[in-house]
Homo-oligomer: A and B are copies of this chain.
Amino acid sequence: MTRPSEDDLIARYFAPLAGEAGLGLRDDAACLSPKPAHDVVVTTDALVESVHFLPGDRPASIARKALGVNVSDLAAKGADPTGFVLSLALPDDWTEDWLADFVRGLAEAAADFSCPLLGGDTVKTHGPLTLSVTALGEVPAGRMVRRTTARIGDAICVTGTIGDSALGLALRLSPDWADDLTPVERRHLADRYLHPQPRHRLAEALRSHATAAMDVSDGLAGDLAKLMRASGASAVVELAQLPLSAAARKAVDLRPALLDTVVTGGDDYEILCTVSPSRLDSLRKEADSIGIPIAVIGQVVSGDDLPAFRLGESERRFHDGSYAHF
Q: Which residue numbers of A lie inside 8 Å of B, CB to CB?
A: 5-7, 23, 26-34, 36, 39-48, 50-52, 73-74, 76-77, 79, 85-89, 118-128, 130, 132, 134, 136-137, 139, 141, 144, 146-148, 214-215, 226, 230, 324-326
Contact = CB atoms under 8 A, between A and B. Distances in A.
Contacts of A136: 40, 42
B121 A29 contact: no
B124 A51 contact: yes
B76 A6 contact: no
A45 B226 CA distance: 31
A263 to B, nearest CB: 19
Residue from A123, A128, A141 having most chain B Cβ neighbours under 10 A = A123
A34 B32 CA distance: 11
A297 to B, nearest CB: 20
A325 B41 contact: no
Contacts of A52: 123
B146 A27 contact: yes
A79 B43 contact: no
B26 A87 contact: no
Contact of A28 (B5, B32, B214): B214
A145 to B, nearest CB: 9
Residue from A76, A87, A134 having most chain B Cβ neighbours under 10 A = A134
A79 B128 CA distance: 34
Contact of A119 (B42, B122, B128, B130): B42
Contacts of A121: 44-46, 132
B73 A29 contact: yes
Contact of A26 (B132, B230, B325): B230
A122 B44 CA distance: 10
A28 B76 contact: yes
A122 B130 CA distance: 12
Contacts of A77: 27-29, 31
14 contacts: A27-B148, A28-B147, A29-B77, A31-B77, A31-B144, A32-B40, A34-B39, A42-B134, A42-B136, A45-B121, A46-B87, A48-B124, A51-B123, A87-B134
A79 B27 CA distance: 14
Nearest to A91: B127
Nearest to A222: B7
A32 B39 contact: yes
Contacts of A128: 125-127
A74 B123 CA distance: 20
Given A28-B147, A33-B39, A44 B214 contact: no
A326 B6 contact: yes
A152 to B, nearest CB: 19
Q: Which 6 A-B pairs have the closest CB atoms?
A: A127-B127, A132-B132, A87-B132, A134-B134, A46-B87, A29-B43
B123 A44 contact: no
